[in-house]
């Protein structure tokens, strides 16, 4: 057996560089890196040697580098991914939030933080977290619960099994998620005689499991027996590339479609079967159809509480769940149909033959669109615009190439309810609703889809939390447009606080313990990082600036002051948020009474976003 002498870090990078997609490109598009103690010597030298195949990008913060990588993997529909490497201490723990984001969203991400010395000779080393009761613990163990696969590389030859396991995890549609390979810093630099065959290029095929025949027969029977079935399209439709199969299935069998946050844009907004968003941030048309349904066919959805209306909107209907993961297929007592979304829909359609549902869609979609138009119209006079009116401005400037991206705060709910995307024109991180994902996510999304017009919606709160990758985007010449809505605090959670009877407290700057409310010039700040930045004085100017942003080679940031008070004023369903049973505030006691009424099923109380 012929061998080649390489360090463990060199072997890792060489092996990763020849793991290929079915399209003939490396599965890893590159590696984000902030070098520090524990990764600069071993991994840094190895990465330099493969940079022509696996480019290295220097970010500003470990968490946001990983967010960019997550957005890339999401935009690539899990067919490609990126890696991130960090130092052994604060760099590693900065990855925990991002790993959780990837874990919740079932997205591929390779994390390679440095680790302590396997030999323990210089123990404790700089940045080492010492566990007084367990000598095997390091800072990287914080990543265990948010990693789909975790391994610690303490010997070079451990890579012979660890690396294939990592790739198998990231390319398995049922188990896909973040992988952590904590790499002991002395092991990185150790040499080993590797079998040359280990570095032969390998193509990783994404499995497409077909349904079990008994489950398929039961699912087809359930649909035939249903009078008013409704399809709930989740992110699995997009990850499977099942958009065409979903459109054909809905049309052929006369079944309307509603969309989760992750599934939105699986069908274009104007597809006849598409009733729009569902759940707490759903449209009136979609939620009415779901409330009247006797069967819900979930396709690739996790069925979290915003989708189900805390199991009040989706509670009494029979549930049929087509999902590639057994864990998700069996949720909420569903009849499972375990399969790839595209394969499952095709097989189910064949089993149904020419069957068409009896309850045809009604005209509620047209009524909803008219109502949405009204709340998105430009405000009269000099009033501060609402989030819905900002969305309306961006929508009027949007093209078939536009993709809206967002993650947390007021905008995700408003966008889910109101945004009208073309196919693939929506990118929302709402599994973890992670503040700070937005700008880094826009960077990763644009890197994955340079042909798309990426518009990033971000509030002042999320911008303050994580904005530094704007400088990275400017340096890399990756252009996208940021619409920064300044409502002077955390407007979304302020509305939730008010809806549960709480006093205005610690959300808006005006209600916080500050000596003076800040007067931040966000446009000047963005410009200082290399973006083209401007402040829009109103909706008309926002539309003008949006049009002018196209064609630049650096990010454009448009700041607009907004009213933190109103929600969308349309759509929505009840959401279960526990209200204190005891309070001195009459408002809290009233909110508790309304909450108990809703729990008893005597009324349907809409969530605070509506």
pLDDT value of residue 608:
46
Pairing of strands 3-7, 191-195: antiparallel
Same domain? 334 vs 451: no
Answer whether residue 605 shows pLDDT above 50: no
Q: Domain for residue 482, yes or no? A: yes
Question: DSSP string of 143-189?
Answer: GGGG-SEEEEE-SGGGHHHHHHHHHHHHH-TTT--EEEEEEEHHHHH
- 429-471: pLDDT as tens digits: 999 999 999 999 999 999 999 999 999 999 999 999 999 999 9
Residue 351 located in a structural domain:
yes
Both 390 and 375 in a single domain?
yes
Q: Judge if 343 and 387 occupy the same domain.
A: no
Q: Are residues 355 and 415 in the same domain?
A: no
Q: Which two tokens stand for residue 167?
A: 């790739």
| pLDDT at residue 359, rounded to an integer | 66
Which DSSP letter does residue 508 get? B
Residues 6+ apart with CB under 8 A from 582: none
- The C-alpha atoms of residue 66 and residue 436 are separated, in whole angstroms, by 11
Per-residue pLDDT, 574: 87
Nearest to 609 by CA among 428, 354, 387, 438: 387
What is the SS3 string spanning 91-143?
Answer: HHHCCHHHHHHHHHHCCCEEEEEEECCCCCCCCCCCCCCCCCCCCCCCHHHHH
Q: What is the model's pLDDT at position 572?
A: 87
The count of structural domains within the chain is 3
pLDDT above 70: percentage of residues in the chain: 98
Same domain, 276 and 178: no
pLDDT at residue 321, rounded to an integer: 98
The predicted-structure confidence for 313-350, as pLDDT tens digits, reads as follows: 998 899 999 999 999 999 999 999 999 999 999 999 99
In CATH, what number is assigned to the domain containing residue 548?
A: 3.40.50.970
Q: Does the pLDDT of residue 380 top 90, yes or no? A: no
Is the pLDDT confidence value at 604 over 60? no
At 483, give phi and psi (nearest 5°).
-105, 105
In a domain, 581, yes or no: no
Between CA 297 and CA 300 the distance in angstroms is 10
Q: Considering the domain boundaries, does residue 387 fall inside one?
A: yes
* 323/237 same-domain check: yes
pLDDT above 90: percentage of residues in the chain: 90
Domain boundary among the residues 362, 392, 416 is at: 362
Return all residues near 267 (Cβ < 8 A) that are at least 6 apart: 233, 243, 246, 247, 250, 257, 259, 273, 274, 423
CATH code of the domain in which 353 resides: 3.40.50.1220
Calculate mean pLDDT across residues 188-212: 97
Is residue 597 domain-resident?
A: no
38 and 185 part of one domain: yes
| pLDDT (tens digit per residue) in 93-143 | 999 999 999 999 999 999 999 999 999 999 999 999 999 999 999 999 999
325 plus 376 within the same structural domain: no
Mean pLDDT for 403-414 is 95
Q: Which H, E and C letters describe 395-446, residue by residue?
A: HHHCCCCEEEEECCCCHHHHHHHHCCCCCCCEEECCCCCCCCHHHHHHHHHH
Domain range for 177 is: 3-203
1-13 mean pLDDT:
97
How does the average pLDDT of the chain come out, rounded? 95
Mean pLDDT, to the nearest integer, of 184-210? 97
Strand 481-486 vs strand 556-561: parallel, antiparallel, or unpaired? parallel
Q: In this structure, are 232 and 372 located in the same domain?
A: no
Burial class (CB in 10 A: 0-12, 13-18, 19+), 164: middle
CA angle (603 as vertex; 601, 605 as ends), nearest 5: 110
Pair 383, 434 in one domain: yes
Query: Can you tell me the distance from the alpha carbon of 536 to that of 390, in angstroms, rounded to the nearest whole number?
Result: 11
**556 three-state secondary structure:** strand
- Whether residue 576 has pLDDT greater than 80: yes
556, β-bridge pairs: 481, 532
- Judge contact between 390 and 560, C-beta under 8 A: yes
Neighbours of 120 (CB within 10 A): 14
Q: Is residue 604 in some structural domain?
A: no
Q: What is the pLDDT of residue 71?
A: 98
Residue 574 falls inside a structural domain: no
Instruction: Judge contact between 93 and 62, C-beta under 8 A.
Output: no
Query: From the DSSP assignment, how many helices (H) and strands (E) are in the chain?
Result: 24, 22
Same domain, 198 and 294: no
Q: If residue 532 lies in a helix (H) or strand (E), which one and from where to where? A: strand 532-536
Q: What is the DSSP letter of 199?
A: G
Nearest-angstrom CA–CA distance, 549 and 66: 27
Span 259-266, average pLDDT: 98
Encode pLDDT of 525-574 as tens digits: 999 999 999 999 999 999 999 999 998 999 999 999 999 888 887 888 88
Mean pLDDT (whole number) for 482-506:
93
Averaged pLDDT, 170-189:
98
Chain centroid to Cα 562, Å, comes to: 25
Q: How far apart (Å, rounded) are the C-alpha atoms in residues 474 and 66?
A: 18
- What local confidence, expressed as pLDDT, does residue 362 receive? 67
Q: What is the mean pLDDT of residues 30-42?
A: 97
More confident residue, 603 or 131: 131
Other Cβ atoms within 10 Å of 60 Cβ, number: 17
> 3-state class of 348 per DSSP?
helix
**What's the Rg (C-alpha) of the chain?**
25
Fill in the DSSP letter of residue 36: -
Query: What is the pLDDT at residue 360?
Result: 54
Looking at residue 361, its pLDDT comes to 58
Look at residue 212 and tell me whether its pLDDT is greater than 70: yes
In-domain check, residue 172? yes
| Cα torsion through 127, 133, 135, 141, rounded to 10 | -60
> Does residue 514 share a domain with residue 412?
yes
Indicate the residue among 333, 362, 391 that finishes a domain.
362
Task: Give the end of a domain, one of 203, 223, 239.
Answer: 203
How much is the pLDDT for 609?
47
Distance CA 269, CA 272 (A): 9
């Amino acid at each position: 057996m012929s061998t080649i002498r390489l360090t463990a870090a060199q072997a890792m990078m060489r092996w990763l560089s020849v793991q290929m997609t079915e399209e003939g490109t490396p599965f890893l598009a590159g590696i984000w890196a902030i070098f520090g103690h524990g990764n600069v010597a071993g991994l840094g030298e190895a990465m330099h040697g493969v940079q022509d195949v696996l480019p290295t990008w220097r970010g500003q913060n470990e968490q946001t580098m990983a967010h960019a990588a997550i957005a890339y993997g999401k935009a690539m529909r899990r067919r490609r991914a990126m890696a991130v490497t960090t130092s052994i201490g604060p760099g590693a723990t900065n990855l925990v939030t991002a790993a959780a984001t990837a874990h919740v969203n079932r997205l591929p991400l390779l994390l390679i933080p440095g680790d302590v010395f396997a030999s323990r000779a210089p123990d404790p080393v700089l940045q080492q977290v010492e566990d007084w009761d367990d000598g095997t613990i390091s800072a990287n163990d914080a990543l265990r619960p948010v990693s789909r696969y975790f391994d610690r590389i303490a010997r070079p030859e451990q890579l012979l099994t660890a690396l294939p396991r990592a790739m198998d995890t990231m390319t398995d549609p049922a188990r896909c998620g973040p992988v952590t390979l904590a790499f002991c810093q002395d092991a990185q630099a150790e040499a080993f005689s590797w079998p040359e065959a280990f570095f032969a290029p390998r193509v990783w095929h994404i499995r497409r499991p077909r349904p079990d025949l008994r489950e398929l027969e039961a699912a087809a029977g359930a649909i035939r027996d249903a009078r008013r079935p409704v399809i709930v399209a989740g992110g699995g439709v997009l990850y499977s590339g099942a958009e065409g199969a979903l459109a054909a299935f809905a049309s052929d069998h006369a079944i309307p479609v509603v969309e989760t946050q992750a599934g939105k844009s699986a069908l274009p907004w104007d597809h006849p079967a598409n009733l729009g968003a569902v759940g707490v941030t759903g449209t009136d048309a979609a939620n009415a159809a779901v409330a009247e349904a006797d069967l819900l066919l979930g396709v690739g959805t996790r069925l979290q509480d915003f989708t189900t209306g805390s199991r009040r909107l989706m509670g009494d209907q029979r549930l049929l769940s087509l999902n590639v993961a057994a864990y998700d297929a069996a949720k909420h007592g569903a009849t499972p149909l375990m399969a790839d979304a595209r394969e499952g829909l095709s097989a189910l359609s064949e089993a149904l033959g020419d069957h068409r549902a009896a309850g045809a869609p009604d005209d509620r979609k047209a009524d909803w669109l008219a109502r949405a138009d009204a709340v998105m119209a430009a405000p009269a006079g000099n009033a501060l615009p609402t989030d819905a009116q900002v969305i309306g401005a961006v929508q009027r400037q949007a093209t078939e190439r536009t993709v809206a991206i967002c993650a947390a705060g007021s905008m995700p709910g408003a966008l889910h309810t109101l945004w009208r995307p073309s196919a693939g024109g929506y990118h929302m991180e709402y599994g973890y609703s992670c503040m700070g994902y937005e700008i880094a996510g826009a960077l990763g999304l644009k890197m994955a889809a340079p042909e798309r017009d990426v518009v990033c919606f971000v509030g002042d709160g999320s911008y303050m939390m994580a904005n530094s990758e704007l400088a990275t985007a400017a340096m890399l010449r990756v252009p996208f447009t940021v619409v920064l809505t300044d409502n002077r605090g955390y407007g979304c959670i302020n509305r939730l606080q008010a809806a549960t009877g709480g006093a205005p407290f610690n959300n808006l700057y005006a209600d916080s313990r500050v000596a003076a409310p800040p007067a931040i010039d966000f446009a000047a700040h963005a410009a200082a990082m290399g973006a083209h930045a401007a402040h829009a004085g109103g909706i008309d100017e926002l539309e003008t600036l949006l049009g002018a942003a196209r064609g630049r080679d650096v990010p454009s940031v448009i700041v607009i002051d907004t009213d933190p008070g109103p929600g969308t004023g349309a759509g929505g369903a009840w959401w279960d948020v526990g209200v204190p049973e005891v309070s001195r505030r009459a408002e809290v006691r009233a909110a508790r009474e309304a909450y108990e009424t809703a729990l008893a099923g005597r009324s349907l109380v809409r969530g605070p976003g509506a």
